[in-house]
Structure 1
């Protein structure tokens, strides 16, 4: 069971994007709980949606009349500002875009996005269904609940195959399976949305009107132009909002790439890069951030570089110019390299292809300073995978020594694999940070930032 937490999410429906909060499942007094920011009006449970993260933050500061008021970390959430309550890309769910996703090729982005959208819909239905609360309901009605279409959708084996990942949609049988997913959505999705609609409160518990919501298409257009600014979209609310300061015991490090590109552009580019088996990767270290290329040869990572040095470029455009040039490097030996050298597809890294080696150090510092119980061992998984790939290519044996089971860091990494939900202790964080910082320094020495 994961530690108690509250996560900002965005839901898009009817060309309108609303921001709210979701408390993933946690255990309290021997029972499992899960909730969204909302209330129950009569027999109808509502989830409150807000036009901007700033409006959401303003509501959180001033209201305790909702379902998250008794959550263990709600006092912390009350102190957060708009920046902290802006969802990352993994927590934005486009209910309008489901048909478009199902019409795409079943790459990992399409499969993961569709699976995540259906998962959050199922979670909403679980939390908003008050049908079982009526003592006078007969047994059959209790079993069906208020979200019959959602239950039927989740029970379909075609939808269940999304949980197997992109591997379930490879080859001829995989193509048939993907077509089956689309068929189920054609049959049920409109009913699913209709069931949810009456439970969505677009007034933000009386703090907003529909006119306050910019069209979702307009937001996407702004994001594509690389000028999306949460504060600009809601200057009137932000005037009353507190600054986005860190709250005690909570990491305010934001996820997301430092390379600005729309989801649509990244997804389109990914079709080419996945087809050639070489992916753009972003690396973030204390000295800066850059993008490079990575592939695997016999399960061993190989990067764009030479003699154990990894070349990093400030922007995808800089990397593209290098690719089009004639300088030698280790990826020239890859069979698909001629296609890469000839392409005009921009090397845009996806969110899951990021090696952010700075975030873990900052998280460990916060745990050491008193955020124990709010960070679990899962924080090690992605950055450790990254440093292992980088160190293996660069031939840095010391990194593997620091990750061995005999070290404090190695024991924490092993526990992350066994018990990712186990929380980090403040008394361990200092030593873990020292060892992790050494790892990052060693790897950083193998990175060469190119002009």
Structure 2
């Protein structure tokens, strides 16, 4: 389980955005805990939401009457300014936007956004569920099975039980092809049927007064809520007091770097063929520790490694700018459990990785098949135009940039510069991923892509 941390998040509901804090699951005294910044109002568990990060920071400095007061890192949080409690893009959840997402055709952004939104909604429900308990021990024993099923979030439980919701964890591939399209349509139907009730259940547990410090009219709309801290908030908060109090995405109580599980958009078949159910089962652990298994495929071969982000900078299992690759999950696990020094050893959650028996199986979005891109470009240049779109580049280039960043490969960024053929094609892919890749486009990209792959390969070391 990940080291105790506290993460700023933003929730948008009923066209207003509120800011709060979430403590992801951590273990203390042999028990697992999870909490949000909240408390109890008239016997109902609530999560406090604030109209600005500045208002949130001010509350944290002055109040200890809430569910996070006993969290291991709360003393650090209590001294933070508005900038430190402003959520990043990966921790902003638009609950109003779910209808719009399912109404469109699925893409990797839609699938990832829905998965993240459903996940945080479920976590809110877990922390706020106050289903009545039977105080009589004898009656409780007799009705144990019935009580286990009780919840104040019945609509959410019904939605989460839908198999289509579970498919979100498998990524876009689960919603491609005829069967995938049908699953997406069924998911949209479930949202149309249940999401309004889900929001109604959740609304009863959201405190839009900032624990009595704010008026409802102060909360910004989704359009008004930006990612930057207002200058007034910064001045009011004294955000410039201690710049080194917290530099990571997660607020922690130690100086060691903390891995942050990314939301990546790599989509490729790769060379491994693990069971999707096994991948989904393993994903929970790896996302929890913030260190993810990654597959890289280059002409020299395919291999597995591990990657995390520290202050938004990619870091791989390796040393001195070299990324270590292993042929099988078992070989990677054997290395992890050894004593060789590497650049992930000082990550806060690394001891959990060393001790785990969970196989390092990469999800599809963390598989970088650079050979496949070269093959596709060659096929399109040879006459397969119209069958492939620009999205094929987005998948691999994100991985390439991470590898180049870690290894310090300046030539890779030159090849991907805005004025280069590759840079222009990638920009087109990001702007219009479904734009068809023409034969002449592919012919121009083949040479630069091959050079880019050669550059990346210089940083890869295949280990036994």
Q: TM-score, normalised by structure 2?
A: 0.57
Contact 2:247 / 2:311 at 8 angstroms: preserved in 1? no
Deviation at 1:103, TM superposition (A): 1.7
- Do structure 1's residue 383 and structure 2's residue 351 form an aligned pair? no
Instruction: Tell me which residue corresponds to 2:192.
Output: 186
What secondary structure sits across from 1:217 in the alignment? coil
Deviation at 1:135, TM superposition (A): 2.3
Cα 1:60–1:103 change in 2 (3 A) is same
| Aligned positions, number | 309
Contact 2:316 / 2:344 at 8 angstroms: preserved in 1? no
Q: Distance in 2 between matches of 1:165 and 1:442?
A: 28
Q: Distance in 2 between matches of 1:85 and 1:421?
A: 31
Q: Distance in 1 between matches of 2:323 and 2:411?
A: 8
4+ residue runs over 3 A deviation: 136-142, 237-240, 244-248, 295-301, 354-360, 385-392, 403-407, 410-423, 439-442, 444-451
Contact 2:249 / 2:311 at 8 angstroms: preserved in 1? no
Q: Distance in 1 between matches of 2:132 and 2:84?
A: 35
Instruction: Tell me which residue corresponds to 2:286.
Output: none
Instruction: Tell me which residue corresponds to 2:238.
Output: 242
Contact 1:9 / 1:21 at 8 angstroms: preserved in 2? yes
- After TM superposition, the structure 1 = structure 2 runs for residues 252-401 of structure 1, keeping only pairs within 5 Å, are 252-253=247-248, 382-384=314-316
- Do structure 1's residue 152 and structure 2's residue 158 form an aligned pair? yes
Q: Distance in 2 between matches of 1:172 and 1:197?
A: 36
Instruction: Tell me which residue corresponds to 2:167.
Output: 161
Instruction: Tell me which residue corresponds to 2:5.
Output: 5
What secondary structure sits across from 2:200 in the alignment? helix
Deviation at 1:387, TM superposition (A): 10
Deviation at 1:28, TM superposition (A): 0.8
Cα 1:387–1:182 change in 2 (3 A) is farther
What secondary structure sits across from 2:149 in the alignment? helix
Deviates more, 1:134-143 or 1:188-197: 134-143
Instruction: Tell me which residue corresponds to 2:26.
Output: 26
Deviation at 1:440, TM superposition (A): 6.7
Q: Distance in 1 between matches of 2:63 and 2:105?
A: 44
Contact 2:81 / 2:234 at 8 angstroms: preserved in 1? no
Name which of 345, 351, 365 aligns with 1:412.
345
Deviates more, 1:24-33 or 1:132-141: 132-141
Cα 1:358–1:407 change in 2 (3 A) is farther
Deviation at 1:422, TM superposition (A): 7.7
- Do structure 1's residue 230 and structure 2's residue 193 form an aligned pair? no
Cα 1:191–1:358 change in 2 (3 A) is closer
Q: Distance in 2 between matches of 1:30 and 1:79?
A: 28
Contact 2:321 / 2:406 at 8 angstroms: preserved in 1? no
Note the alpha carbon deviations across 1:327-349, whole angstroms, 9 max, x for none.
Answer: xxxxxxxxxxxxxxxxxxxxxxx
Cα 1:252–1:202 change in 2 (3 A) is same
Instruction: Tell me which residue corresponds to 2:213.
Output: 207
Contact 1:4 / 1:25 at 8 angstroms: preserved in 2? yes
Deviation at 1:274, TM superposition (A): 8.3
Contact 1:131 / 1:142 at 8 angstroms: preserved in 2? no
- Do structure 1's residue 88 and structure 2's residue 88 form an aligned pair? yes
Contact 1:300 / 1:389 at 8 angstroms: preserved in 2? no
Deviation at 1:121, TM superposition (A): 0.6
Cα 1:204–1:357 change in 2 (3 A) is closer
Note the alpha carbon deviations across 1:154-188, whole angstroms, 9 max, x for none.
Answer: 11111111111112112111111111111111111
**Alignment gaps of 5+ in structure 2:** 251-264, 269-295, 325-334, 357-403, 420-464
Q: Distance in 1 between matches of 2:33 and 2:413?
A: 48
Deviation at 1:389, TM superposition (A): 11
What secondary structure sits across from 1:408 in the alignment? coil
Cα 1:300–1:388 change in 2 (3 A) is farther
Cα 1:387–1:141 change in 2 (3 A) is same
Contact 1:6 / 1:24 at 8 angstroms: preserved in 2? yes
Deviation at 1:446, TM superposition (A): 3.7
Cα 1:358–1:196 change in 2 (3 A) is closer
Name which of 204, 214, 217 aligns with 1:198.
204
Cα 1:131–1:421 change in 2 (3 A) is farther
Contact 1:4 / 1:23 at 8 angstroms: preserved in 2? yes
Cα 1:411–1:77 change in 2 (3 A) is closer
Alignment RMSD: 4.1
Instruction: Tell me which residue corresponds to 1:15.
Output: 15
What secondary structure sits across from 1:26 in the alignment? strand
Deviation at 1:153, TM superposition (A): 1.1
Instruction: Tell me which residue corresponds to 2:119.
Output: 119
Q: Distance in 2 between matches of 1:130 and 1:202?
A: 19
Cα 1:135–1:385 change in 2 (3 A) is same
